[in-house]
């Protein structure tokens, strides 16, 4: 009996991830592009790590699936995106994973984290899930890429529990940064869904 090829054994992990989905990309770093989403959950947000307790009677859109937790809690979404798609589809509305950005991490790692966040969001959107972009940054260096791939206007999610800035300052900084990053494009109205910790 012949063993499966490397490609077959690793079909659904990060080594071949772009073999089955190649999103539209933008910017100097080819960050995947997310479509505008104006949805806001009608009830609340639901944590990814508690999906086994998700209400069976819930209607898609009542909750937004969120990933505002330690990265280790949602690595499976990245490493096995096809397998984890079904529960995301069941909720119907998801906030992109909030892969951590820390100012003491190398630039390349922070860039990779942003790429992964946008890639998963673009993949889910291509499968019919409504996707609210999460937005995060670490320091001024991250402004070179952290807003790439974001739509103009719509709903955004920001985890304020890890920000050293008050929420009003973070919202102002986000709007100023989005405006600066997209000066050449038509401005849209933005709203944010905050998670306070």
pTM for this model (two decimals): 0.79
Tell me if 121 sits within 8 A of 96, measured CB to CB.
yes
Whether the predicted pLDDT of 13 surpasses 70: no
Q: In whole angstroms, how far apart are CA 143 and each of 114, 132, 177, 183?
A: 11, 20, 8, 14
Question: Do the strands 93-95 and 130-132 form a parallel or antiparallel pair, or are they unpaired?
Answer: parallel
Mean pLDDT of the chain: 80
Q: Which residue has better confidence, 133 or 188?
A: 133
Residue 108 confidence (pLDDT) = 94
pLDDT of residue 131: 97
């Amino acid at each position: 009996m012949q063993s499966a090829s490397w490609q077959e054994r690793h079909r659904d992990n990060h080594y071949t991830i772009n073999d089955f989905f190649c999103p539209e990309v933008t910017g100097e770093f080819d960050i995947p592009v997310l479509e505008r989403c104006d949805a806001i959950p009608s009830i609340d947000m639901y944590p990814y790590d508690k999906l086994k307790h998700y209400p069976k009677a819930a209607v898609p859109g009542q909750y937004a699936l969120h990933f505002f937790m330690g990265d280790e809690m949602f690595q499976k979404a990245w490493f096995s995106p096809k397998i984890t798609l079904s529960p995301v589809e069941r909720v119907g509305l998801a906030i992109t994973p909030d892969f951590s950005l820390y100012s003491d991490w190398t630039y390349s790692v922070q860039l990779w984290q942003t790429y992964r966040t946008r890639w998963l969001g673009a993949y889910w959107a291509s499968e019919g899930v409504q996707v609210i972009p999460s937005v995060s940054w670490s320091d001024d260096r991250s402004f070179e890429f952290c807003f790439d791939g974001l739509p103009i206007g719509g709903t955004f999610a920001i985890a304020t529990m890890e920000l050293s800035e008050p929420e009003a300052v973070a919202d102002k900084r986000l709007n100023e940064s989005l405006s600066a990053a997209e000066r050449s494009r038509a401005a849209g109205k933005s709203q944010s869904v905050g998670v306070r910790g």
